Structure 1
């Protein structure tokens, strides 16, 4: 039998997060759309083809300002491969793009505060750059499938074609609204689950199994984040609810990185480009990043 206070707290939390995060998503997505108007994919490919050391840093920041969904990241990555972009910079982009897009950083800032968001950004950026550099130096480029270099017969339209707008501002808004409608089920689903956890889950349960006192909470959170396939737009409000119930923020950090950094769907898509050696390295790095970020956060804060 549901307690009346729990129901009220659940509905109140859902309404608050739904309004706040929806507005935040639309505003940030529109700003990013403006940036992408002036940084077309062809220019990004040209920059990432650079052989100098700055390419790794540039790749990380380009990934940070390009919030691609899973269906558009892979075709873009294929374009980088066919453009002969540096392997290391491509891998930096692959790691950084889902982890560091402005929507995630914005949600992180609003939900957990700017210090936590800054820690997350620095950690994810540093590991992405280091991972890309090491994978190139270790010769993992040879594990790219030969067919990945071939030009497609027809250009795939992953996210669907858009009608020609009256001007570029309306074009950006239509793209923003289309993206928002696509993530709406994930966003509201995550908010709903998070609100129910906030309203109904006993704090003692979370404190016992996922508190900062449990040394295994962080690696477990990192590993389960990947098969859960919770988008960042959903996992952040869900994680906020878990944190409010007593889940250690180190475990929260690990869960967010694990779920945002990789997913089973992304792995399936990557298998069309990479051999198993790169796939395994990719998963290992995401899990290692999640675990190390979780433990480091617990030590620093």
Structure 2
């Protein structure tokens, strides 16, 4: 294997492993603090699937949270434990990495308001529709039962010494976060490792050559390549100008962004720790469908 590929892959692995670890721990801790002060009943009422507004609120929550696909997972786990509506949780899962403020801002600067508006409306509409349909089709049964259980916060590692002294509430939150992280850690490193290797091995020139405007399959190709090619959506958007200059269509670029931001390989592996295979397949189908439909429809309408 080329030395440059190995170096690039190792550098990306180190960067992503540290970034995702810190984000996972920080966001999990924040969720723990919020759960301490916000009763689960309040979350259930706001994000209830029985109330149509719950879907809109979930999409709005996803749009204002600056999370990437992987850092959405600990927040989603908190919603599951609070027993929020399944459909609204799925709306948050789809919308959060695609509609965060950073992505929308970069889209507007790079492509203008027309492309940004179409991307936003499409991602929002598909997220809400998919969340609603997945609940109505009964996909909640594919959530693993252990995800609903609160982590045992009574002890963690060396803190279990038979002492009956009360544990500080902030430390209790941290102990629960650390227990969750230890369960997720193998999934994180496997996903980051595979994604980093693919990132180092696939040059942008190769992507542009297969996703040119003259290729009728450029859009589904870009959407599929985006999933294993773990690059932050912000980075994909910044790279989009040279990709467009090399002949890649706007529709294919939008599909690449949705594929990489909405269903990165690392996120899919993390979701495997929470969902059964049927739910993973449904998740990938929604994201790929959203990417392909948005890419093709943009080309037809504009």
In the superposition, the TM-score normalised over structure 1's length comes to: 0.69
Number of residue pairs the alignment of both structures matches? 230
- CA drift of 1:153 comes to 1.8
- CA drift of 1:67 comes to 1.6
- Asked if the contact 2:211/2:221 (under 8 Å) is kept, the reply is no
Provide the residue aligned with 2:177 in structure 1.
156
Provide the residue aligned with 1:45 in structure 2.
43
CA distance 1:157–1:114, change in 2 (3 Å): farther
CA distance 1:50–1:218, change in 2 (3 Å): closer
- CA drift of 1:50 comes to 5.7
Provide the residue aligned with 2:19 in structure 1.
none
SS in 2 for 1:227: coil
Structure 2 Cα separation of the partners of residues 157 and 239 of structure 1: 37
Structure 1 residues 167-246: aligned runs within 5 Å: 206=208, 209-246=210-247
SS in 2 for 1:132: helix
Provide the residue aligned with 1:22 in structure 2.
none
Moved more, 260-269 or 70-79: 70-79
Structure 1 Cα separation of the partners of residues 92 and 121 of structure 2: 15
- CA drift of 1:81 comes to 1.0
Unmatched tracts of structure 1, length 5 or more: 1-35, 161-189, 191-195
Structure 1 residues 271-282: aligned runs within 5 Å: 271-282=272-283
SS in 1 for 2:83: coil
- CA drift of 1:241 comes to 1.5
- CA drift of 1:209 comes to 3.7
- Asked if the contact 1:56/1:92 (under 8 Å) is kept, the reply is yes
- Asked if the contact 2:47/2:85 (under 8 Å) is kept, the reply is yes
Provide the residue aligned with 1:63 in structure 2.
62
Unmatched tracts of structure 2, length 5 or more: 1-29, 154-175, 182-198
Structure 2 Cα separation of the partners of residues 116 and 241 of structure 1: 17
Provide the residue aligned with 1:7 in structure 2.
none
Structure 2 Cα separation of the partners of residues 101 and 265 of structure 1: 19
1:250 matched to 2:248? The reply is no
- Asked if the contact 2:49/2:87 (under 8 Å) is kept, the reply is no
Structure 2 Cα separation of the partners of residues 48 and 142 of structure 1: 19
SS in 1 for 2:124: helix
What CA RMSD, in Å, does the superposition of the two structures yield over aligned residues?
A: 3.3
- CA drift of 1:247 comes to 0.9
CA distance 1:290–1:233, change in 2 (3 Å): same
In the superposition, the TM-score normalised over structure 2's length comes to: 0.69
Provide the residue aligned with 2:170 in structure 1.
none
- CA drift of 1:157 comes to 5.8
Deviations 1:242-289 (A, max 9, x none): 012221111111111100101111111111111111001001110111
Deviations 1:84-135 (A, max 9, x none): 1000000000000000000000010011111111110000000000000000
Structure 1 Cα separation of the partners of residues 128 and 58 of structure 2: 8
Structure 1 Cα separation of the partners of residues 73 and 222 of structure 2: 26
SS in 2 for 1:228: coil
Provide the residue aligned with 2:82 in structure 1.
83
1:74 matched to 2:69? The reply is no
- CA drift of 1:70 comes to 4.4
Provide the residue aligned with 1:115 in structure 2.
114
- Asked if the contact 1:239/1:256 (under 8 Å) is kept, the reply is no
